[in-house]
Structure 1
């Protein structure tokens, strides 16, 4: 596990899930290789058995982070907490990576930010990585700028569906939405009531051109999903749509548990 954490508790007591809770998973640093010759850095978190050996996940989340020019990266807090919790709590694989030119404690991906255009190669590389490693039932999870990448570049035959957190719809065009509409693939948008860029009523109007799209307005929430209750709502919705019948997630964990010591719980401003 890359994240510094306190020693696991082997006693099996019921521990409350808190902001810095890290549950068991097999975590490994990975590299993605793009068609235009770049190497991107990332991490794959997999469910594991009692000995820490990786097991086959029920489904896979390919995550796309917020805007890197405004602080977004693979460790943006909702995505990081998904990797800390969902392998153990929902049997999900979580792939996180830095898009081109983006840095995090894991390292810096090669290349330079391109406003969402050349990032099409980054999205393709992540999907190809998941395919090559036989990760099943692949879903995209994009946050803010990451939702634009999902809408513009993620409607791939290897992807089952997409979940969009705080979609601003700044870069994605009606043509991109029409591509998703024609695919019939499920598309779920979680839209905060107090979002800075796109609020629920306008989101329902914009996404109406995708018949299968589900827009979920989240009362009281803001674009950055700050606070444990907001994170839990996001993770519950992800699991509910990817693995129906497995949400809501428990709020306690009986078994080994760690506590992160380096989480800055960043609240990026991004779009």
Structure 2
């Protein structure tokens, strides 16, 4: 049986990180190979579903924080498969005029995003690789939704751990930083080996069998990526410690991911 939301030519037997994340969040846009990989992921990191939930919650808090800073346009890099609580839903609920450009190269993520965004003139998806900033920025400019003379909220949430060291992560972040005006913000989260190193090593091994191997980074390495940004309080912290809405019982030491937001100087 062919599912209507599966783009032609997609190899459903090759698992992807976007569809694995969708499965961990309880979504339905994943295949048997993705679910099999996810179960291996959960054996290596039993807290995987909680980490996915915490990362999604950070995205919501970060978008609302950026809205409070006056940001009304967002570039969401490696946006993945839309689930409830997408950036445009969060931002446009706060201000219907807010604009969002999603960026992903995964076929299912792009196809489903187009379905979700149909009829929304203030949000779109562009199919580009976020590690090619020139192509992404050109496509964002063509969309007509990003005015680079005004502050932009650049989001790299739960995705930069898929950027290999040989891709020169610092130069990628720097390219986006240099393309936006002062007052723009970078919201960032990614897996780290600083938290639960044994589990993280197991996850890295599991993800070697996917099309998206994983490269966790230390707090020091993440700090370096914020060159040219002023990191806002509370700094680079485990997910549940970044401006929580209320008291929570999530163990920061089991969060697996660091989160931070920086303002371009």
TM-score over 0.5 (shorter chain): no
Whose helix fraction is larger, Structure 1's or Structure 2's? Answer: 2
TM-score by length of 2: 0.36
Structure with larger RCO (C-alpha < 8 A, sep 6+):
1
Instruction: Give the TM-score normalised by the residue count of structure 1.
Output: 0.35
The structure with the largest strand share of the pair is 1
